[in-house]
């Protein structure tokens, strides 16, 4: 079958929570790459009787297309030999198929193929240094099957810090708008606001939101406020995307709550909150503070989150939070690399294995599950493993199984190190089991809504025709790891579980309007401090039109 202009997915059990459809038998009609209301009776048909039909998966937070991922690939040659990825058997004329390598950070083409094989059709790389945006776009060009984009790192960049210090918050907003456009990015990402800059100047890190950074008058609180307000004033489809201070530190839940409270009433997305929900510290052992964090999230509709679940097995920690990676390298004894990106941000990478017999890993695993199971609004607590930081995206099906099947979860709980689980809600027994409808929310409808992608994550007329069709299986992990069919922009790319087509994905980026007088000041700053000429800095050839700003 060639990529059909029209296709009727007939008789499947449809989960389309954005349109209030929760397991109804109905047809999904596709024409010209979009979902349509109806089709002529003679339109080509794909028989989905007895199968589960959902929109294509949407990954709101992963690391797969960046200069830092490339450094991570170089750091783990042993993974490449252990997981070779032969070229897929694409249909005649659909090539050329590419071989590659897997492991925790697969090569570009393999990443696209594996996302498609999982039923995911949209993904964002959540941390790109502005100076390396061109590299990310080149990697996205070579990551087929998924539409996607990048979040650009701010919050430790010299120009922004200077504007905040000078009280020039309007100019900071205009700079943010310019930077989004110059890098072809989709959203603003903050990593450890001010903490990376502080560490680079010799300070250990920042501990509180009102700590001055590197001997200047800027504080994490001012960075959070400035960028959250900028994202909202620019009407970006996705609000500011925040990795809080003190990631991975015992007792950090207090910083996380303080950060949420600092932005109270403002739309903001707090990412991988599992890594920010730890009790203990100050001489006390690590403990779960998941309930403290999720209670706040449940009660504040302006806050959204993804979990950043830890899954047992190999992982690769990659983050702009270089001070965290330095500590991890010191405590684990594992190899690492550190990259300083001029005056923009930092980056550290450490390979890591989460072991169920290790007390802290077991606690992290439990905290992630508690956050999911205690959440009262699945639209605002969506699925991520912070791929590959908490585990590969290939672990999503196993995570879905843990959420849907209490008996599997309880069995697994018996095998983990219980040392730090006192007071954990999971250890006390959580009966909740996610339904298929809720899984459809946390893996596609919810992320799409949080990203402001009105054409994604649902199957209503006008939506992009990205559809995943699963064969029902009592083995939930198996069902979600091997979709029977995947449709991307109207083309059937996975047929009978085999990848047959690998079309290029669309680039998702924004171009908000701003007061251009900022450019004169920026040019002066570049002339004085940057190794790159101002005119050479912007990425000029970002494919596709920017996503419309409402």
Q: Which residues pair with 147 in a beta bridge?
A: 122
Binding mask 222-261 for Zn ion (x = CB under 5 A): ----------------------------------------
From 88-96, 227-235, 364-372, 386-394, span contacting Zn ion (CB under 5 A): 386-394
Distances (CA, A) of 38 to 16, 43, 404, 450, 460: 17, 10, 33, 28, 11
* Tokens 């700590």 -> residue: 211
Rounded to the nearest whole angstrom, what is the least distance from the CB of residue 57 to Zn ion in the complex? 17
Residue showing tokens 């002339």: 527
- Pick from 370, 386, 438, 466 the residue near Zn ion by CB under 5 A: 386
Stretch near Zn ion under the rule CB under 5 A, chosen from 120-128, 362-370, 396-404, 495-503: 120-128
Q: Give the residue with the Cβ less far from Zn ion, 135 or 173.
A: 135
CA atoms of 509 and 488, how far apart (whole Å):
19
DSSP state letter for 507: B
Q: How far apart are CA 196 and CA 225, in angstroms?
A: 18
Give the nearer residue to Zn ion in terms of CB position, either 126 or 463.
Answer: 126
* Whether 469 contacts 9, CB under 8 Å: yes
Given the complex with Zn ion, which of 386 and 464 has the nearer CB atom?
Answer: 386
Residue 468: closest CA among 82, 57, 152 = 57
Cβ atoms 122, 58 nearer than 8 A: yes
> Rounded to the nearest whole angstrom, what is the least distance from the CB of residue 508 to Zn ion in the complex?
18
- Shortest approach of Zn ion to residue 181 CB, angstroms? 23
CA–CA gap between residue 278 and residue 105 (Å, rounded): 27
3-state secondary structure 282-302: CCEEEEECHHHHHHHHHHCCC
Task: Please choose, out of 118-126, 154-162, 329-337, 538-546, the segment that lies near Zn ion by the rule CB under 5 A.
Answer: 118-126
The footprint of Zn ion on this chain (CB under 5 A) covers a number of residues equal to 2
Nearest residue (CB) to Zn ion, 16 versus 386? 386
Q: 318 or 493: whose CB is closer to Zn ion?
A: 318
CA 368 – CA 545 distance, rounded (Å): 37
The verdict on 59 binding Zn ion (CB under 5 A) reads: no
**Least CB distance to Zn ion at residue 389 (A):** 6
Stretch that binds Zn ion, among 5-13, 121-129, 245-253, 478-486 (CB under 5 A): 121-129
Helix, strand or coil for residue 508? Answer: coil
Of 126 and 373, the one with the shorter C-beta distance to Zn ion is 126
How large is the C-alpha radius of gyration of the chain?
Answer: 22
Contacts of 402 (CB under 8 A, 6+ apart): 369, 408, 409, 412
Q: By Cβ distance, which residue is nearest to Zn ion? A: 386
Contact status, residue 302 vs residue 270, Cβ threshold 8 Å: no
265 CB burial (10 A radius; 0-12, 13-18, 19+): exposed
Between 39 and 339, CB nearer to Zn ion: 339
**Minimum distance from residue 221 beta carbon to Zn ion (Å):** 22
Of the candidate spans 122-130, 392-400, 474-482, 518-526, the one that interacts with Zn ion by CB under 5 A turns out to be 122-130
CB of 73 to Zn ion, least distance (A): 17
Min CB(341)–Zn ion separation in Å = 16
Q: 427, exposed or middle or buried, with CB in 10 Å at 0-12, 13-18, 19+?
A: middle
Q: CB nearer to Zn ion: give 126 or 502.
A: 126
Q: State the CB neighbour count (10 A cutoff) for residue 82.
A: 12
Shortest Cβ distance from residue 183 to Zn ion (Å)? 17
Q: How far is the CB of 205 from Zn ion (least distance, A)?
A: 18
Q: Which is nearer to Zn ion, 126 or 499 (CB)?
A: 126
Contact 42, 441 (CB under 8 A): no
CA distance 64 to 72: 10
Task: Name the one range near Zn ion by CB under 5 A: 273-281, 380-388, 472-480, 532-540.
Answer: 380-388
Token pair in block for residue 272: 């991988």
Options 125-133, 137-145, 298-306, 441-449: segment touching Zn ion (CB under 5 A):
125-133
CB of 386 to Zn ion, least distance (A): 4
Instruction: Pick between residue 316 and residue 373 the one whose CB is nearest to Zn ion.
Output: 316
Nearer to Zn ion, 116 or 126 (CB): 126
Nearest approach, Cβ of residue 532 and Zn ion (Å): 26
Task: Report the residue number, 69 or 126, with the smaller CB distance to Zn ion.
Answer: 126
- 29 φ/ψ angles, rounded to the nearest 5 degrees: -105, 135
**Which are the contacts of 150, defined by CB distance < 8 A and separation ≥ 6?**
65, 66, 124, 125, 128, 133, 136, 137, 140, 183, 184, 185, 186, 509
Q: Give the DSSP H or E segment for 28.
A: strand 21-31
Residues 402-441 interacting with Zn ion (rule: CB under 5 A): none
Among the residue ranges 276-284, 381-389, 416-424, 505-513, the one whose residues contact Zn ion (CB under 5 A)? 381-389
Give the separation between CA 328 and CA 342, rounded to whole angstroms. Answer: 23
Q: Kindly state the smallest distance separating residue 394's Cβ from Zn ion, in Å.
A: 17
529 by Cβ neighbours in 10 Å (0-12 / 13-18 / 19+) ranks as: exposed
Q: From the CB of 34, what's the least distance to Zn ion, in Å?
A: 31
* Piece of the chain touching Zn ion by CB under 5 A; list 52-60, 378-386, 453-461, 521-529: 378-386
Q: Which residues bind Zn ion (CB under 5 A)?
A: 126, 386
């Amino acid at each position: 079958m060639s990529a059909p202009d029209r296709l009727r997915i007939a008789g499947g059990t449809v989960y389309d929570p954005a349109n209030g459809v929760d397991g109804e038998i109905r047809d999904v009609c596709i024409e010209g790459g979009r979902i349509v209301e109806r089709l002529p009776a003679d339109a080509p048909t794909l028989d989905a009787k007895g199968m589960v039909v959902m929109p294509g998966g949407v990954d709101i937070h992963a690391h797969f297309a960046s200069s830092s991922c490339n450094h991570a690939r170089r750091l783990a040659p042993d993974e490449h030999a252990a997981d070779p990825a032969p070229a897929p058997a694409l249909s005649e004329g659909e090539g050329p198929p590419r071989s590659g390598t897997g492991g925790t950070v697969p090569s570009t083409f393999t990443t696209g193929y594996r996302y498609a094989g999982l039923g995911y059709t949209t993904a964002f790389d959540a941390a790109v240094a502005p100076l390396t945006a061109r590299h990310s776009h080149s990697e996205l060009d070579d990551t087929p099957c998924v539409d996607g984009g990048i979040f650009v790192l701010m919050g430790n960049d010299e120009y922004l810090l200077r504007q905040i210090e000078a009280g020039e918050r309007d100019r900071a907003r205009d700079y943010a708008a310019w930077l989004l456009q110059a890098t072809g990015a989709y959203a603003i990402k903050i990593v450890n606001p001010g903490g990376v800059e502080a560490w680079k100047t010799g300070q250990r890190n920042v501990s509180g939101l009102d700590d001055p950074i590197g001997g200047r008058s800027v504080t994490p609180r001012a960075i959070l406020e400035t960028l959250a307000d900028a994202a909202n004033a620019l009407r970006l489809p996705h609000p500011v995307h925040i990795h809080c201070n003190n990631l991975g530190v015992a007792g950090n839940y207090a910083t996380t709550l303080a950060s949420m409270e600092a932005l109270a009433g403002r739309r903001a997305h707090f990412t991988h909150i599992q890594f920010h929900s730890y009790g203990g510290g100050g001489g006390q052992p690590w403990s779960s503070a998941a309930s403290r964090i999720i209670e706040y999230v449940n009660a504040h509709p302006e806050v959204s989150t993804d979990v950043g679940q830890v899954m047992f097995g190999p992982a690769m920690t990659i983050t702009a939070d270089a001070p965290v990676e330095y500590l991890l390298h010191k405590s684990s004894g594992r190899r690492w690399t550190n990259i300083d990106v001029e005056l923009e941000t930092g980056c550290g990478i450490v390979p890591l294995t989460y072991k169920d017999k290790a007390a802290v890993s077991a606690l992290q695993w439990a905290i992630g599950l508690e956050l999911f199971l205690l959440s009262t609004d699945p639209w605002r607590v969506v699925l991520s493993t912070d791929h590959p930081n908490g585990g590969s995206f290939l672990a999503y099906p196993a995570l879905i199984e843990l959420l849907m099947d209490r008996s599997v979860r309880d069995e697994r709980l018996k095998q983990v190190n219980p040392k730090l689980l006192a007071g954990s809600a999971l250890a006390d027994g959580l009966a909740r089991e996610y339904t298929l409808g809720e899984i459809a929310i946390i893996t596609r409808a919810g992320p799409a809504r949080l990203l402001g992608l009105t054409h994604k994550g649902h199957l209503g007329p006008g939506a992009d025709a990205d559809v995943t069709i699963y064969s029902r299986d009592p083995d939930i992990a198996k069902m979600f790891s091997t979709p029977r069919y995947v449709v991307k922009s109207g083309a059937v790319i996975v047929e009978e579980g085999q990848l047959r087509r690998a079309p290029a994905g669309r680039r998702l980026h924004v171009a908000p309007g701003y007061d251009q007088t900022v450019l004169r000041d920026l040019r002066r700053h570049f002339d004085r401090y940057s190794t790159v000429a101002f005119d050479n800095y912007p990425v000029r050839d970002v494919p596709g039109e920017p996503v419309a700003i409402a």
